[in-house]
Structure 1
Amino acid sequence: MLDTLFGLIPSGSRGQQWLAGDLQLVNWGGYDGAHRVRFSPSATLLCGGSGSGKSTLMDAYIALMMPHTTPFNGASNGAVSGRARGEDQRNILSYGRGKIDETRTEHGTRVRVLRGDGTDTWTAVAMTWVDASGPEEKWFTAVRAWYIPATARVLDDAVKVRGVIEGEFDLTDLEDAASRRLSDAAVRATGLETMATDREFLARIHAVLGIGAAGAGTKAMNLLARIQAGQQITTVDELYKRMVLEEPDTFATADAVVEHFDELEGTRLRMVTAQRQVRALSPLREARTRIGDAAERLRLIKEIGQFRDDSSPAAMWRTSRRLDLLRAAEEELRSQAVDAESLVATHTAAAEAAEAERDSLIQVLRNSGGDRLETAERELGAARRRCEQITRTREKVEEDLVPLGAAVTDEEAFTALVAQGKSALA
């Protein structure tokens, strides 16, 4: 290393100078959709009215190049307080959703946003540098992207992507990966080399662009962040605290601890992803078994055929089964017929015996005066018929006697009534 006016530089340095080629934004603050800001190789001046997006562009660069503890530009946050990039200041979530303003309502704070109101959204920032010091131009691009679910409240709820590529890159190529929640496999399919932690990502950028000597890129970027913060310095004491004095080693230790926790968080996320993959893929074996069983059943069904096809095994089985049932029914009917014939023979013998007994009883009855009884019964029937005839005649006579006012109770009265009638007629 050589000690120069600009600090320690490698003795074998070829004098590379990386220049910003362009800055790309997708859904960043008021920059809705994809935007590209191209820089001049010599100098670029950003100017515009208040609220035209100058600080938003600077914050995009800070979000890409600085650690998550670096506050955004002072013009973006104004006189607000609180932790850098916290809920009280501009943060990745508010830039990703394009926060417009917030109002107080009876139900709480209502935030108006350009996108992501009740739906998922995503945002990305990329910077491309070019080195034209050699015989051929070299390009290097760094990308940060965030997938922000609708339910995200803090940055840890979002999917973070950190990637680099030795060449140019178009952020619109991440559209397909965004539809898959910026999964690592989908992002790598675009050609980006992803990193799990901010520490790895920033170290790669510092190494490629030659920021800082002997691994001091973080200190160089912190100094640059102080210069670009845009905060008003009114006292010499504040000037020394912010611009001259270095932070205590405890701060560096704390940053190292935070970075270590970031690494642990990345490991945890990879473990959670692996666990989800195992949970998602485990049922495949059971599904494969069910598919095999279903295929075997389908093959067996095809081999058996259909019942309406007379030449199929299924139709032959049905015919054979029907024949077996008919034979069983025939055997049962034969057994019932034998039993019925035996019962008929028994009842026939009993009827013949009863007829023989009846004939013998008739003969005994005749021998015991049965003929006289029959004669008496015939005479009794004739007497009953004669009695009925006389009764009807008597009823007619009584009806005829009603107009005369006479009554006939015996033979003498009838004889007298007849004589009286003859006399009347004479």
Structure 2
Amino acid sequence: MSDVYPGQFRLSRVQLINWGTFSGYVDMPIARRGHLITGGSGSGKSTLLDAMSSILVPPVKVHFNEAAQQGLRREQGRTLASYIRGAWRRRENAETGGIASTFLRSKATYSVVGLTYDNAKGTVFTLVGLFYLRAGDTANAQVQKFYGMIPASVDVREFEQFLKAGVDKRKIKSTFADGRFSDQYRVFADYFRPRLGMRSEEAQLLLHRTQSAKSLTSLDQLFRDYMLEPPTTFAMAEEAVEQFDDLRQAYHRVVDVRAQIDTLQPLVGLRDQRSNAEVSKAHALEMKRAFPAVRDSLHLAGNRDHLAKRKSRLPRPLRRSRPKVMAVLESLRNKTLGLGKSAHGA
């Protein structure tokens, strides 16, 4: 058992198959006390570190060879697909006039990356990344990915038999029954992090950043962005901003309601005026319907008074002889009626 931090998982072995300019199989033991990777420009230092990043860093956050690619667009630099293809130079295409990459592996091909971790107390895990590209495919979105963690030191050449025409996931799972595999990186990372002693994804990103430390502008940036936990005041500030926004919206709603009240307030008085007008209208209609009868009644009463006054002005003898006159008139009327009947009979 090693006396260098026993119980702490440390990288003990790196294995590559067809990764970048490393064609074929490469097996590199890593010293537990520390390992220095040195070499001239283009010797493969960044290629080796990027192989580790392909397993230890979420695909959406990995930046291959970041230290040497500051200022380049991501599609201009190294990518997972270019590593699988073995891109080794870019030159002008005589036919199209564009810049094209030259590949070591232009047909259907695959890459395998294996990282073995040992805690110096008898526990070993191997993380494996399997990547496959069909003939003609050169985009990251076209890469078939399969990740796994096996509780042993494994020779990654054992996976080549399952990569002849794509990734044979079913046979891999049945062959390495004690391993855990997934084509989803999040599932894979959630499984290996707690077993290797990583508390969160930030530890993975810190490792990735330290591998490209040339891109750091200061140590402050390293500590602030990758080592220190975000202070609770940030969350409190965000919550305060959200609450202020809620209060502002509530204030605008109150102002709007007040404006509605001011606009609608006159309607109460107008409603009362209309109700009074309706009552007056109904009363006027009733008066109109009753007017003829009242008018006739008043007219009759007036005529009676007028007749009574006229009668009172007649001479007394004439008033006394009135019954006699009426009898004479009645007699004359009867006679007239009788003469009419006689003439009719003759």
* TM-score, with length taken from structure 2: 0.59
Residues 185 and 42 from structure 1, CA distance in 2 versus in 1: closer, same or farther, beyond 3 angstroms?
Answer: same
CA–CA separation in structure 2 for the residues paired with 1:161 and 1:62: 15
- Residue 423 (structure 1) aligns with: none
1:177 and 2:162 equivalent?
yes
Deviations 1:69-126 (A, max 9, x none): 1212334x433423xxx422211111111101122233233321111x2x10000111
Which one has the largest radius of gyration?
A: 1
- Residue 270 (structure 1) aligns with: none
CA–CA separation in structure 2 for the residues paired with 1:236 and 1:39: 27
The structure 1 residue matched to 2:62, chosen from 58, 70, 73, is 70
The structure 2 residue matched to 1:123, chosen from 101, 107, 111, is 111
Contact 2:10 2:117 in 1 (8 A): yes
> Where does structure 2 lack aligned partners over 5 or more consecutive residues?
236-346
Contact 1:26 1:35 in 2 (8 A): yes
CA–CA separation in structure 1 for the residues paired with 2:126 and 2:218: 39
> Where does structure 1 lack aligned partners over 5 or more consecutive residues?
1-13, 250-426
- Residue 49 (structure 2) aligns with: 58
CA–CA separation in structure 2 for the residues paired with 1:236 and 1:185: 46
1:246, distance to aligned residue in structure 2 (A)? 6.6
1:233, distance to aligned residue in structure 2 (A)? 3.5
Backbone CA RMSD of aligned residues = 2.5
CA–CA separation in structure 1 for the residues paired with 2:62 and 2:228: 17
1:237, distance to aligned residue in structure 2 (A)? 7.7
1:27, distance to aligned residue in structure 2 (A)? 0.4
Deviations 1:36-84 (A, max 9, x none): 1101121211111111111111111111101011212334x433423xx
The sequence identity of aligned pairs, in percent, is 28
Matching residue's letter, 1:74: E
Matching residue's letter, 2:193: H
SS state at 1:81 partner: coil
1:162 and 2:147 equivalent?
yes
Contact 1:59 1:73 in 2 (8 A): yes
- Residue 224 (structure 1) aligns with: 207
Contact 2:10 2:119 in 1 (8 A): yes
- Residue 77 (structure 2) aligns with: 89
Matching residue's letter, 2:65: N
Contact 2:6 2:119 in 1 (8 A): no
1:30, distance to aligned residue in structure 2 (A)? 1.0
After TM superposition, the runs of 4+ consecutive aligned structure 1 residues lying more than 6 A away are 244-249
1:242, distance to aligned residue in structure 2 (A)? 4.5
CA–CA separation in structure 1 for the residues paired with 2:228 and 2:76: 27
The structure 2 residue matched to 1:44, chosen from 35, 46, 65, is 35
Q: How many residues align?
A: 223
1:240, distance to aligned residue in structure 2 (A)? 6.9
CA–CA separation in structure 2 for the residues paired with 1:158 and 1:28: 14
* TM-score, with length taken from structure 1: 0.48
SS state at 1:179 partner: coil
- Residue 195 (structure 2) aligns with: 208
1:160, distance to aligned residue in structure 2 (A)? 0.6
CA–CA separation in structure 2 for the residues paired with 1:241 and 1:44: 27
Residue pairs, 1:91-106, within 5 angstroms: 91-105=79-93, 106=95
Contact 1:80 1:88 in 2 (8 A): no
Contact 2:144 2:166 in 1 (8 A): yes
The structure 2 residue matched to 1:112, chosen from 92, 102, 126, is 102
Contact 1:129 1:141 in 2 (8 A): yes
CA–CA separation in structure 2 for the residues paired with 1:238 and 1:19: 26
Residues 232 and 27 from structure 1, CA distance in 2 versus in 1: closer, same or farther, beyond 3 angstroms?
Answer: same
Matching residue's letter, 1:88: Q
Deviations 1:236-276 (A, max 9, x none): 88567645677899xxxxxxxxxxxxxxxxxxxxxxxxxxx
Which of the pair has the greater relative contact order for Cα pairs under 8 Å at 6+ separation?
A: 2
CA–CA separation in structure 1 for the residues paired with 2:131 and 2:18: 10
